Structure 1
Amino acid sequence: MNQDWRGVVIRRLLLLIGACLLVGLITGHYAWALVVGLGAYLGWTLAQLLRLYTWLKQHKPDEPPPDGYGLWGEVFDSIYHLQRRDQRVRGRLQAVIDRVQESTAALKDAVVMLDSDGNLDWWNRAAETLLGLKTPQDSGQPVTNLIRHPRFKEYFEQGKYHEPLDLPSPVNDRLRLQFHITQYGNSEHLMLVRDVTRLYQLEQMRKDFVANVSHELRTPLTVIAGYLETLLDNVEDVNPRWTRALQQMSQQGMRMQNLLNDLLLLAKLEATDYPSDNQPVAVDLMLLQIKADALALSGNRHHRISLEADHNFKLRGSEPELRSAFSNLVFNAVKYTPDEGEIRIRWYGDDNGAHLSVQDSGIGIEAKHLPRLTERFYRVDSSRNSSTGGTGLGLAIVKHVLIRHRGRLDISSVLNHGSTFNCHFPATQVVRRP
C-alpha cells in the first residue's frame, strides 16, 4: 500500500470514530457507539474479503473481479489490471509457441522434446511419420519404450551425444534415420531425427562397388603375380635386361594385392555392426606376439620396443580384428620412428574400461592433420606411404575395428617429438580375470 492510501485509510478511520463519538454524544453511550461503528466497519471489511476469496476460488480465467467501493474497490481494480496484463503476456507467449509449433510442424525432420528422465513431452508431425509416435497416448512415455533398438537404448543411456546415431526406422525398415540429441535447460533433451535413406543408399552403393571391384581384381592380380613369380624363379632363362623390370612389376603387384586385401577387410568390417565371434581375448598375449613381429620388422634399425601389459584385463571381441588394429598401430610406429628410436606399448585397465597406448619417438604429425588421419587414403605426405609401402588404409581399419568393439581412438602428436595413439574401450567390453 502506498503512502497516499495509508493516509486515506487513516482519515476514514478517524472520520468513522468521529461519527461514532457524535452518535455517542447524542445518545449518551460513547462505548456502545464505538463498538457498533467499528463492528459494522469490521463486518463490511470481512464481507469484502469473503467476496475476494469466493472469486479467487471459483472465478474463470477471463472473469473480472467483483466490484467494490473505497479501499476494496482499489484492490479489485488492481487485481483486474494485473489480470489483463497477465492475459496480454500469455497471449504473446502463446503466439510465439504457436509460431514455433507451426514452423516445426512444417519441417521434414522429426523434432522430439524429452524431459530429464527421457519421457516424451512434445513432437511434430514428422515424428509421427518417421518414428510412429501417436498423439496423445504416447505423451509421457519413455522414448526407449517406443524406439526399442538396442543401439538407441545404449546411445541414449550413455549420454554421449557428440556423434549422431544411424538406425533403421522403427516403422519402416527401408528408411534409414539419423538421430541427433542435444541436452538443454534442466537436463531436458531435444532430439532431431533426419531421413538419410538416400545418403545411406549412396554409401551402400559405394561400399558394394569397392568390394565388388576389389574382389574382381583379385583373380587377375593373382594370375599376374603367379607368372611374375615363375619368371623370377627362372631369371637365368630371361634376358638380363628384363630382370629389373620383372622385379619392379612383382613389387607393385604385391602392393596392389595388399591394397585390395585392405579394401576387402574394410568392406567386411562395414558389413556388420558387431563382430560375430565375440569372445574374451587375452590382449597381453596378443601384444607379446605383435611385439615380436615388430622387432622382426625393425631388423637392423634397432628400435627399442617396450611392452607393459596387464594380464588381468581381457577384451571381449574378435581376435583377428583386434590383432589387425593393434598391429597396424605398432607397425606404423616402427615405420615412422627413426633408427634406434623408442616405442612404448602399454595395455591397462581402470574403472572406465581398458586402454591401449602406443607411443613412439618418431617424426610426429602436424596438428592440422590429426582430425583426418583415419580417413581412407589420407596422406600427411604423399612420399611417406610410397617410401614405407603403406596403402593409406591402416588407420581407417583401426577406426572401424574400434567402432565395432564400442571403442574410440585418440591421437596426440608433436612434430619431431613423436606421437601417441590411445585406444579406449568401455567397461562393458572388458572381462576382468578373477
Structure 2
Amino acid sequence: MNQNWHGTLIRHLLLLVTACLLVGLITGDYGWSMAVGLGIYLAWTLKQLLRMHNWLREHKPDEPPPDGYGLWGDVFDSIYHQQRRDQRVHARLQAVIDRIQESTAALRDAVIMLDSDGNLEWWNRAAETLLGLKTPQDSGQPVTNLVRHPRFKDYFEQNNYAEPLEIPSPINDRVRVQLLITRYGNNEHLMLVRDVTRIHQLEQMRKDFVANVSHELRTPLTVICGYLETLIDNAEGMNPRWVRALQQMQQQSERMQALLNDLLLLAKLEATDYPSDNQPVVVSTLLQIIKNDALALSAQRKQRITLSIVNEAKLKGSESELRSAFSNLVFNAVKYTQAEGTIHIRWWDDEQGAHMSVQDSGPGIETKHLPRLTERFYRVDSSRASNTGGTGLGLAIVKHVLLRHRGTLEIVSVVGKGCTFTCHFAPAQVINS
C-alpha cells in the first residue's frame, strides 16, 4: 500500500508540474505559474489534513472517515477498512467477554477480580449474595474494607494462599464461606468464594458428637478407674493372675482417660478462633518447666536434654494452650528418642517472628509420613505408638494451638538422624522485652 501511495504521489506531482508548465507557456511566466500551482496543491492538502484532524477528534466509534479524492481518498479508504477490521475484532472480543460474564454470572460460587493492591475491579452476582458487594459503588474499594473479618485481613496480607480460608459471611453469620485467592497477571488477585454452610454444619455435628461422647464417657470411666485402684490397693492374698489382670485394666483405663482428655481439649480448641486469655506469656520460663518435666520423664533412659534461650521475647496468647503444645513436642521427642540420645530445645526471634524448635536424635520419620503427622490418630508405626502409650492426638493439638496463635508447624526429618519440629509465630504475636 505504501508503494501505491508513493507512485500515486509522484504521478500527481508530475501532473501538477506539467499543468503549471503549460500555464507558464501560455502566460509566459513560468515562476508564478509554478508558485500558484504548488500553493493551490498545498492548500488542498492542508484542507484534507484539517478534515482528518477534525474527524479524529470528534468522530464517534462507528462514524466512517470523510470522503476524499485522489491520494487522500486512498488514505481515507484505508482508514475506513482498518476501522471495519477493528470493529469486527472488537465485536468478537466483546462476544467472548459477554459469554464469560454470562457463564460466571450463572455460577453459584462468587468470582472476584482484584488489582495488585487488593482493590475491587469486577465480580459476579454470587459475590453480591455471599459477600454483600454492591454495584457500582463498591468498585475500586479495598476488599479488606468490605470483608472486615480479622482472619481475612491477616489471610490477605500474609500473601500465602496455599490453603483456603473459612469465615462467616459478612452479611449473614449463619452462612459460612470459603475463600481461595490465586495470583495472576501483573500481581493481580482472583478470589473464589463458595458457600460451605452445609459442610460446616456437618463438621460441627461431628465435633459436637465427639465432645458429647467424650464428656459422657468421662464419668463412668472415672468410676471404673476408682474401683480398679481400690481393688489393686487391697490385692493382698489375691491370686497373682487376677492382680496382673487388674493392673492391665488400670493401665488401659488410664490410657482411655488420657484419650478422652485430649479429645475434650481438641473440642475446646476448635470451639473458637482465638484464645480467650490473650495475655503475655514468658516462654523462657515455660520451656524451663517443660524441660524439667522431660528430664523427670527420661530419667531412666539417661537422655541429654538441653535448652537454649536466645532472647527473652514473650508471646501473646494462652499459657495453658502453649504449655500443652510445647510439652507435646518435647515429650514426643523423649518417647521416641533412644536411651542416651540427645534432645535440644531452642527459643529465638528474628524479623519473621518468634520460633521454638525441638530437635532429637531419634530414628526419624520417612518423608511420605510428614504431611499427615498432624491428622487425628495418624500413626507412623502403630505398634511402636501403642507401646509408648500415646493417644495419636498430640500433634493435632499442637496444630490447633498454633492456628489459634497465628503460628505454623514445620517438620524436618532424616531417617536414622532424628527430627526437628519448629513452631513459627507471626511478628504480631511477639512481645519483645
What TM-score results when the alignment is normalised by the length of structure 1? 0.98
Unpaired segments of 5 or more residues in structure 2? none
Task: Specify the alignment match of 1:85 in structure 2.
Answer: 85
Q: Is the deviation greater in 114-123 or in 393-402?
A: 114-123
Alignment of 1:116-155 (within 5 A): 116-155=116-155
Alignment of 1:300-379 (within 5 A): 300-379=300-379
For 2:354 and 2:2, locate their aligned partners in 1 and report how far apart those are by CA, in whole Å: 70
SS at structure 1 position matched to 2:268: helix
SS at structure 1 position matched to 2:236: helix
Task: Specify the alignment match of 1:115 in structure 2.
Answer: 115
For 1:133 and 1:268, locate their aligned partners in 2 and report how far apart those are by CA, in whole Å: 34
| Correspondence 1:95 to 2:95 | yes
Please tell me whether the aligned partners of residues 311 and 349 of structure 2 are also in contact (alpha carbons under 8 angstroms). no
Unpaired segments of 5 or more residues in structure 1? none
Please tell me whether the aligned partners of residues 280 and 316 of structure 1 are also in contact (alpha carbons under 8 angstroms). yes
Alignment-mate amino acid for residue 336 of structure 2: Y
| Correspondence 1:30 to 2:30 | yes
Alignment-mate amino acid for residue 106 of structure 1: A
Measured on the aligned residues, the alpha-carbon RMSD in Å equals 1.1
SS at structure 1 position matched to 2:55: helix
CA-CA distance at 1:344 after TM superposition: 1.1
CA-CA distance at 1:237 after TM superposition: 4.5
For 1:419 and 1:229, locate their aligned partners in 2 and report how far apart those are by CA, in whole Å: 38
For 1:137 and 1:99, locate their aligned partners in 2 and report how far apart those are by CA, in whole Å: 24
Q: Is the deviation greater in 35-44 or in 123-132?
A: 123-132
Query: Where do 4+ consecutive residues of structure 1 move more than 2 Å?
Result: 1-5, 237-241
| Correspondence 1:271 to 2:271 | yes
Alignment-mate amino acid for residue 59 of structure 2: H
Task: Specify the alignment match of 1:187 in structure 2.
Answer: 187
For 1:370 and 1:429, locate their aligned partners in 2 and report how far apart those are by CA, in whole Å: 26
| Correspondence 1:248 to 2:248 | yes
Task: Specify the alignment match of 1:224 in structure 2.
Answer: 224
SS at structure 1 position matched to 2:51: helix
Aligned length: 433
Task: Specify the alignment match of 1:291 in structure 2.
Answer: 291
SS at structure 1 position matched to 2:226: helix
CA-CA distance at 1:270 after TM superposition: 0.6
Please tell me whether the aligned partners of residues 168 and 175 of structure 1 are also in contact (alpha carbons under 8 angstroms). yes
What TM-score results when the alignment is normalised by the length of structure 2? 0.98
Q: Is the deviation greater in 330-339 or in 132-141?
A: 132-141
Deviations 1:78-128 (A, max 9, x none): 111110111111111111101111111111101111112222111111111
Please tell me whether the aligned partners of residues 316 and 429 of structure 1 are also in contact (alpha carbons under 8 angstroms). yes
Deviations 1:374-422 (A, max 9, x none): 0000011111211100000000000000000000001011111111111
Task: Specify the alignment match of 1:162 in structure 2.
Answer: 162
Task: Specify the alignment match of 1:40 in structure 2.
Answer: 40
Deviations 1:151-195 (A, max 9, x none): 212221222211111111111111000011111111211111010
SS at structure 2 position matched to 1:274: coil
For 1:377 and 1:197, locate their aligned partners in 2 and report how far apart those are by CA, in whole Å: 26
- Identity rate, percent: 76
Please tell me whether the aligned partners of residues 131 and 169 of structure 1 are also in contact (alpha carbons under 8 angstroms). yes
CA-CA distance at 1:300 after TM superposition: 1.9
Alignment-mate amino acid for residue 362 of structure 2: G
